[in-house]
Structure 1
Amino acid sequence: MNKIRILGAVTALSAVLVGCGASGGSDTASSGSNSGKPRIKFVINGTLGDRSFFDSAYAGLKKAESLGYSLKVVELGSDRTKWQSGFEDAASGDDYDVLAAGTVDTAGFISELAPEYPDKKFWLFDSTVDYTGKNGCSNKCANVYSVTFKQNEAAYLAGFLAEKLVAGKALPGATGDSKVGVMGGVKIPVIEDFVVGFKAGFKAAGGNPSSGVLVQYVGGGNPFGDPAKGKEIASSMYEQGAALVWPVAGSSGLGVFESAVAAKRYTFGVDSDQSKTLTDPAQQQTVVTSILKNAGSALYLAAKQNKSGSLAYGKPAAVGLTENGVGYVDNAGFEKLVPAALRTELKNQAAKIASGAVTVPSAF
């Protein structure tokens, strides 16, 4: 039986990770009107269907319906020029009590809009507004709950595991490879936090990140939604001797799994358990583990606390291994590919980070 080692937290993620893939700009209500229930409007600067971060967030909000909420989803698509007007339209409506949004790209919109609607609540995940009131939040965003994730801690575990697998020649068919790859969407602090943590873990395991870790970014106009570019980058990394590639690039990462099948190499998933959310069995088999940033769990917890009146608005929150906000997947595939001694070693590393015995460097 699969068990997700999120080191606590609510595992609402895989239960509702449906293949959404709706077109940009769509506006979809779930489960009817739910009159009289507290209403959450999830505004996405992109679309569902990434089988990763946005789908994870959706799963947590979808599960919040069991707490008595109703959920409406607004997908703004990948055209950045439409995001500001999309958020303004979404906020101006009277069809929500809570507006939820995520990623650093939406922080400015929430900072500007939240003060205009003081009777509404705003949840921002994977970024934070400026609570000093200097940049847009005239009321210091007293109605905004911001939660970020210590992705560097989970990335450290990914790097540690990757080096041990490569050095130990533990991956069948890739025993001659001596490198690993990390593919980011774009070079921004939140993605760099993954890279910094990964390299630190790789080094702690005895590797040389300067020569052993390949790093490249998708970039372009759609860095988190370009699977073709992701496949191209991953193929290059495998050709350079990478035994596995870890995509940290939203749906651009879907191309990495395609490339891994063709190269007969391996991957790590990100944000969700991608050994489950991927629909191609061959791609699923390439996933050694998935490094989780539990957006869905964090949002479901926010929904519980909001309902009880204990959710802390007006100040930032950050969750990592200690707070059960990040982790890794330990399932049958993981146990097949990762030797028992290494699984124990990885678990001990996670415990050291959670206890504070190991401090992981950050890009922030």
Structure 2
Amino acid sequence: MTKLTRRMTLGLMLAGTTLMAGFAAPAFADEPKKVVFLVNGNLGDKSYFDLGAKGMTMIKEKYGDKVETKVIEMGTDQTKWLPTFQDVSEQDWDVIVACTFEISDIITEVAPEHPDKTYVLIDGVMPYDKGDYGNVYSVVYKQNEGSYLAGMLAAGLLKDGTIPASDGKDIGFLGGMDIPVINDFLTGYVEGAKAVNPDIKVAISYAGTFTDAAKGKELALAQYRSGTAIGFNVAGLTGLGQIAAGKDVNKYSIGVNSDQEVIFRDTDPAMADKVATSMLKNVDITVLRAYDLYVEGKLPVGQVE
């Protein structure tokens, strides 16, 4: 197999809106501000949640003694998420950060009960037109655009012979769940690939979970062994199974959210070598930017950006 000697980083821009909104009051005060990140799962996914935690580290590094930060892993038992949000909201945290669509309903319930808190919801949308959520700022991404580039790359590597025909003629997609946000990735990926090769076929699998790398590997191996030459994982921890599968059968994968080639470069170079590129969401930058705006009194609460 031809070795990829140049790797591409696919950036992703935030989606903007023109909704009317207020701004969080400036956060300067004598006492340090307190920011907590509630992880609806566990760290170690080398992707989404780890990037959120990295963003918290970046806040601490930038603001030092002016801020206190904490990351709380809520685990995968969803019955514990709402009680945890309620408990944390009753404590003295100034800013409460959370990620993914799975948390939207929880913040919808909790935020109006705690108007003195500022909530930051990353990659989730609030029903701003149906209630008073003037203390919630939410951000969504144009993941279909970044995924379009990933699809172009996957198809292009086949078309130009970088990936030999003997590896297969199809490209693959591994999603954590069959839900709108994951299918937004898929739509962009397929359209990008077909822009390069209108006849290309895309093998699609959903694991039904974001936390099972073994399941991800099983599904990815099935794709690779059926003629898939390169796959794109959008499945959190589950997606790491695709990269492991690629290592086993000497085929490429495309990472998501974080630069997954860099993550494995030191600990597992052989696995890192099978990551052609990664489509970045830059959740860490989003977390830091939200806090920067909060400190400046410019965080546009009451809207999705």
TM range (shorter): 0.7 to 0.9
Match of 2:183 among 192, 206, 222: 192
Q: Is the CA contact (8 Å cut-off) linking 1:152 and 1:196 kept in structure 2?
A: yes
Write the distance in 2 (CA, Å) between the matches of 1:3 and 1:72.
33
Does the residue aligned with 1:99 lie in a helix, a strand or coil? strand
1:124-273 equivalences under 5 Å are: 124-132=121-129, 134=130, 137=131, 139=132, 141-171=133-163, 175-209=166-200, 212-219=201-208, 223-273=209-259
Preserved CA contact (<8 Å) 2:258 2:280: yes
Alpha-carbon distance in 2 for matches of 1:3, 1:307: 34
Partners of 2:119 and 2:136 within 8 A in 1:
yes
Task: Give the letter for the 1:300 counterpart.
Answer: L
Q: CA deviation at 1:280?
A: 1.7
* Distance change (3 Å), C-alpha of 1:6 and 1:111: same
1:349 match: none
How far is the alpha carbon of 1:203 from its aligned partner?
A: 1.1
Alignment match of 1:300 (pick from 273, 288, 302)? 288
Q: Does structure 2 retain, via aligned residues, the 8 Å contact 1:183–1:248?
A: yes
Quote the Cα distance in structure 1 between the aligned partners of 2:82 and 2:152: 40
Superposed counterparts of 1:326-337, under 5 Å: none
Q: Deviations over 1:50-80 (max 9, x none)?
A: 0001111111221011134321111111112
| SS of structure 2 residue aligned to 1:122 | strand
Listed one character per residue, the Cα deviations across residues 19-52 of structure 1 (whole Å, up to 9, x for unaligned) are: xxxxxxxxxxxxxxxx921111100100111000
Q: 1:5 to 1:166 in 2, by over 3 A?
A: closer
The whole-number CA distance in structure 2 between the counterparts of 1:145 and 1:266 is: 37
Indicate conservation of the 8 Å contact 2:155/2:193, yes or no.
yes
Aligned counterpart, 1:72? 70
1:241 aligned partner, one-letter code: G
In structure 2, the gaps of 5 or more residues are: 1-5, 15-29
- Residue 47 of structure 1, aligned match among 42, 48, 70: 42
Match of 2:298 in 1: 310
Question: Quick one: which of 107, 112, 134 aligns to 1:110?
Answer: 107
The letter for the 2-side match of 1:217 is Y
Q: 1:282: how far off? A: 1.3
Q: CA deviation at 1:81?
A: 2.1
Question: How much does 1:240 deviate?
Answer: 0.9
> Which deviates the most, 79-88 or 242-251?
79-88
Match of 1:284 among 264, 267, 272: 272
Structure 1 gap ranges (5+): 10-34, 318-364
Aligned length: 280
Taking the aligned partners of 2:41 and 2:13, their CA distance within structure 1 comes to 29
Question: Any idea what SS the aligned residue of 1:149 has?
Answer: coil
Which residue number in structure 1 is paired with residue 24 of structure 2? none
Give the direction of change, closer, same or farther, for the CA distance of 1:246–1:106 in structure 2 (3 Å limit): same
| % same residue | 39
| Cα displacement (A) at 1:8 | 8.3
Whole-angstrom CA distance in 2 between matches of 1:302 and 1:40: 11
**Is 1:6 matched with 2:3?**
no
| Distance (whole Å) between structure 2 residues aligned to residue 118 and residue 265 of structure 1 | 51
TM-score (norm 2): 0.87
User: Secondary structure in 1 aligned to 2:128?
Assistant: coil
Question: How far apart, CA to CA, are the structure 1 residues paired with 2:145 and 2:7?
Answer: 22
The residue type paired with residue 297 of structure 2 is G
Q: How far apart are the structure 1 equivalents of 2:105 and 2:118?
A: 16
User: Partner of 1:330 in structure 2?
Assistant: none
Contact 2:150 2:192 (8 Å CA) reproduced: yes
Could you tell me how far apart the structure 1 residues matched to 2:289 and 2:35 are?
Answer: 14
For residues 276 and 198 of structure 2, the distance between their equivalents in structure 1, rounded to whole angstroms, comes to 19
CA distance in 1, matches of 2:10, 2:171: 23
Length-normalised TM-score, structure 1: 0.73
Q: Partners of 2:8 and 2:175 in 1: how far apart? A: 27
Q: Distance in 2 between matches of 1:4 and 1:234?
A: 22
Given that residues 43 and 90 in structure 1 are in contact (C-alpha distance below 8 angstroms), is that contact kept between their aligned partners in structure 2? Answer: no
Amino acid at match of 1:102: C
Cα offset, 1:176, TM superposition: 3.9
**Matched residues in 2 for 1:2 and 1:259: separation?**
20
- Answer yes or no: is 1:92 the counterpart of 2:90: yes
Contact persistence 1:163–1:207 (CA under 8 A): no
* Alpha-carbon contact 2:136-2:301 (below 8 Å) kept: yes
Cα separation, 2, equivalents of 1:70 and 1:228: 36
Question: Larger relative contact order (C-alpha < 8 A, sep ≥ 6)?
Answer: 2
